[in-house]
Structure 1
Amino acid sequence: MSEGEKAKLDSVDLTKAADDEGQNRSEVKEQSSGSEGEPNDTTLSPEELDERGSFHSDRFQGLGDLDDLERSLEYRSQALALTADGHPSMPHRLASLGASYGDRYRRLGEIEDLKKSFEYRTRALASTADGQPDMPRRLADLAMSYGDRYQRLGDPEDLERSLEHRSRALALTPDGHPSMPRRLADLALSYNHRYRHLDKIEDLDKSLEYRTRALALTPDDHPFMPFRLADLGLCYGDRYQSLGELEDLEKSLEYRTRALALTPDGHPSMPSRLSDLAVSYGDRYQRLGALGDLEKSLEYDSRALALIPDGHPDKPDQLANLAMSYGDRYRRLGGLEDLEKSLEYLSRAVSLTPEGHSDMPRHLADLAISYTDRYRRLEDPEDLDKSLEYRARALELTPDGHSSMPIRLGDLAVSYGDRYRLLGQLEDLEKSLEYDSRALSLTPENHSELSERYFNLAISLLDHFKHTGELSYSEKSLNSFRTASQLLSGPPRNRFHHALRWAKNATEHTSLNPIEAYEATMNLLPQFIWVGANTTQRYQDLLMAENLAVNAATVAIISLQSARNVVA
């Protein structure tokens, strides 16, 4: 069963409008922060209004104060109103107002602001002649709005438009230009989004390439250095999720730790930095099982949530992230209060996510996991019904071809399997097998989740064997258990647990070859007991190993006695 998908917040999302081309504007005109006129002050020229709008925009980027953002919008709206059609500054005024509306959309999540941002940036691009030095920036600005709309509504066409505009912006940016790192980072972001949508590793490779180049071109003391580091941490985290290489996970942790260290207290990006690091610690916990990593993930998720104000569009994602950490701790330690917190936070995340938002399927799927956990703990059939309901809705809202489709199918198969074991209806068992088979067929070769897919299919096939007694189901189940334990792409601890479940089931059903099952489990034991674990963790693992050895010996003795009886 999938243990949930934590949101991966792009480090640039909280301050996307910040741009290397305008990073020093906050230093202009100290009088702007003093006794400034109001936006409707007729004594101010369009240039002065524009300048003050830029000042407040930059201050919002640095401090996150919504009042600055509102002032920026007021000043820029007035500046645009006073700018005559055909004036050379018209494209700039349109683009600036589009940027402020984009900032307010990302801060408050109102779709009308996104529409206005799109409108003004489209007009700004249309009024910029080919060959103008501002053309790359206009393209990049509109690409940002396409990216925002893709993330909100999930339309792949918007993602492709974002990629197209960012590619053009990069091609028009000369080598050595101060905006080159930003262009590279922006294009990398679009490739990252397409990777998450389509699960094509070549998109992730391109994202990693461009982000590595962006980092190399960014001076150590540049204010965007934390963003570059966080971006690379995100890429390495995604590659770890895809390929399961521990080295990628450690690099993700390293870059995210450095990004957090360079982010000052009070910066609007601090919640994103904390959340990113929580994701990496959570991933390492899932891989190596060290409880300390889980506690760190919980700590960083809690700190991130505390810094996100009510009404912020990132609130649902961070509620869900913290909920998944509590869910992980419940599954590890069994504390019912952790499970209830997971349910509470995920329910809030769903209620705060607008209908039609592309994050809704993930939040529904995560909430279903917590209901499944509670059903298995308290055995209340209503929890199982809710799990099925939310997983069915999550699947319905996931577009064909999306990289999360195998997860949605596999999760729904788990719930149907649970209901079959509760009610004994063959229809549920058939659906479980159908969804497990579809999930496996959609999982790419060498994907880190492939072992999990084979294991889930093995369980469904075993249930069919128990129900029908047909030996063919047992043979297929054996092959799936074997593959789940042998695939090198899966995390070693997961493969060990798959082999252990195989061995336990084989003890009851000898057609699953108990000798082979225990041999596979024992062979995976050195990878399960991680030398880097703390003393408590290694003690717990060694206890399991001792019990495993006893069980394996018992099976061997029984098999030997059976063989002797046959000979006799």
Structure 2
Amino acid sequence: MARWFGRSKSRSHDPVGAAAESEHLEPLGVSDDLRLAYGRTGDPKLLRGALQAAELAVQVYPVNDVRHAAALSSLCVLHRLSWERERAAPDLIKAVDYGRRAVDKSPPGDTELPRHMSSLATALQEVYDSTQDEESIDEAINLYRGCLDLMPLSSSGQGEERVSQVSNLANSLLRKGRSSRDNDILNEAAAHARAALRDTPDDHPMHPVRLVNLGGVLLGLVQSGHPEHLGEAEDMYARGLREFPAGHPARPGVEQTLAMIKDLHRQFGT
């Protein structure tokens, strides 16, 4: 799933902010840089520093400045990352709260509103994974749909950020469809997962992830009573496993799923 690890476009909203950024003094830019460094290293000190800089940014920028909403959205992302690391419930609560505030405070015409909506949706998806709260996954799905409504197709087709949102929507629909065994929802998830894979270049770092994402949706269809998708699901997982580099943290889970698929083949006599 896309995590919006890129830098905030709002960090150079005005010349003064751009100049401060060049001296590494602009707090939203500092927070972004520390978050990116945390993504590369996993050093918790960098995550704590990113949180402190984002908290400062919320205080520094006035409410009608797009960077205020961007800072709130950064806090949503950072607290979700802290939740993923520590599994402390207050972090997930804060992630959702900051995400809601970012969407609410985004001024008219803010081009980063889809980014803020996506950050909130991802936090809500984490809430669903932790609690199985149906309202949370329904809200996440609606937010991802809203992102796509605000991100029109470019002249060359779907841009990378839009493809990420298509993939995110597919993953949320998979969660809902798998729990409800609703084939219509799962089929919609499969359509979005196929579109995201189709528009992801073979050499893109997200290509193996999107192979596995499609495999997961197809496996959900198998488990809801459609074994005809089992062969393609296996192919997606096998291709993803070949593309993930050695030592990638996703490999054990993919290998485990492939072993489960072999058992399903025996059960179905295929």
Place the TM-score, normalised by the shorter chain, in its bin: 0.7 to 0.9
1:358 maps to: 160
2:205 maps to: 403
The whole-number CA distance in structure 1 between the counterparts of 2:69 and 2:83 is 21
Equivalent pair of 1:252/1:280 in contact (CA under 8 Å): yes
* Aligned counterpart for 1:18 among listed residues 6, 14, 18: 14
1:5 lines up with 2:2 in the alignment: yes
Compute the displacement of 1:311 (Å).
4.1
Q: Deviations over 1:3-40 (max 9, x none)?
A: x32324523x2253633xxx4xxxxxxxxxxxxxxxxx
Moved over 4 A (4+): none
The whole-number CA distance in structure 2 between the counterparts of 1:230 and 1:289 is 22
The whole-number CA distance in structure 2 between the counterparts of 1:300 and 1:383 is 29
1:349 lines up with 2:115 in the alignment: no
1:308 maps to: 106
2:186 maps to: 384
The size of the alignment, in residue pairs, is: 263
CA RMSD in angstroms comes to 2.6
Equivalent pair of 1:298/1:325 in contact (CA under 8 Å): yes
Q: Deviations over 1:283-305 (max 9, x none)?
A: 11122221111110011111111
1:453 maps to: 251
TM-score (norm 1): 0.43
Equivalent pair of 2:11/2:28 in contact (CA under 8 Å): no
The whole-number CA distance in structure 2 between the counterparts of 1:370 and 1:458 is 22
Compute the displacement of 1:265 (Å).
3.8
1:280 lines up with 2:81 in the alignment: no
Larger radius of gyration: 1
Task: Look up the equivalent residue of 2:135 and give its one-letter code.
Answer: E
SS at match of 1:6: coil
The whole-number CA distance in structure 1 between the counterparts of 2:195 and 2:264 is 30
Compute the displacement of 1:441 (Å).
3.0
The whole-number CA distance in structure 2 between the counterparts of 1:328 and 1:227 is 24
1:321 maps to: 119
Equivalent pair of 1:417/1:460 in contact (CA under 8 Å): no
Q: Deviations over 1:254-292 (max 9, x none)?
A: 433344344344333111111111111101112222111
The whole-number CA distance in structure 2 between the counterparts of 1:226 and 1:407 is 32
2:94 maps to: 296
2:136 maps to: 338
SS at match of 1:400: coil
Q: Deviations over 1:133-165 (max 9, x none)?
A: xxxxxxx9xxxxxxxxxxxxxxxxxxxxxxxxx
TM-score (norm 2): 0.85
The whole-number CA distance in structure 1 between the counterparts of 2:232 and 2:169 is 21
Q: Percent identity?
A: 21
Structure 1: 5+ residue stretches without partners: 24-60, 62-139, 141-178, 186-213, 219-224, 470-568
Equivalent pair of 2:31/2:51 in contact (CA under 8 Å): no
Compute the displacement of 1:389 (Å).
0.6
Equivalent pair of 1:229/1:259 in contact (CA under 8 Å): no
Task: Look up the equivalent residue of 2:164 and give its one-letter code.
Answer: R
Equivalent pair of 1:236/1:251 in contact (CA under 8 Å): no
Per the alignment, do residues 312 and 268 of structure 1 end up closer, same or farther by CA in structure 2, a change over 3 Å counting?
closer
Equivalent pair of 2:238/2:258 in contact (CA under 8 Å): no
Compute the displacement of 1:445 (Å).
4.3
Equivalent pair of 1:410/1:453 in contact (CA under 8 Å): no
1:256 lines up with 2:54 in the alignment: yes
Equivalent pair of 1:419/1:428 in contact (CA under 8 Å): yes
Per the alignment, do residues 416 and 245 of structure 1 end up closer, same or farther by CA in structure 2, a change over 3 Å counting?
farther
Q: Deviations over 1:499-520 (max 9, x none)?
A: xxxxxxxxxxxxxxxxxxxxxx
The whole-number CA distance in structure 2 between the counterparts of 1:227 and 1:327 is 25
The whole-number CA distance in structure 1 between the counterparts of 2:103 and 2:226 is 42
Per the alignment, do residues 319 and 461 of structure 1 end up closer, same or farther by CA in structure 2, a change over 3 Å counting?
same
SS at match of 1:454: helix
Equivalent pair of 2:125/2:140 in contact (CA under 8 Å): yes
Q: Deviations over 1:424-479 (max 9, x none)?
A: 53x52232222223323333445xxx23332133122222134238xxxxxxxxxx
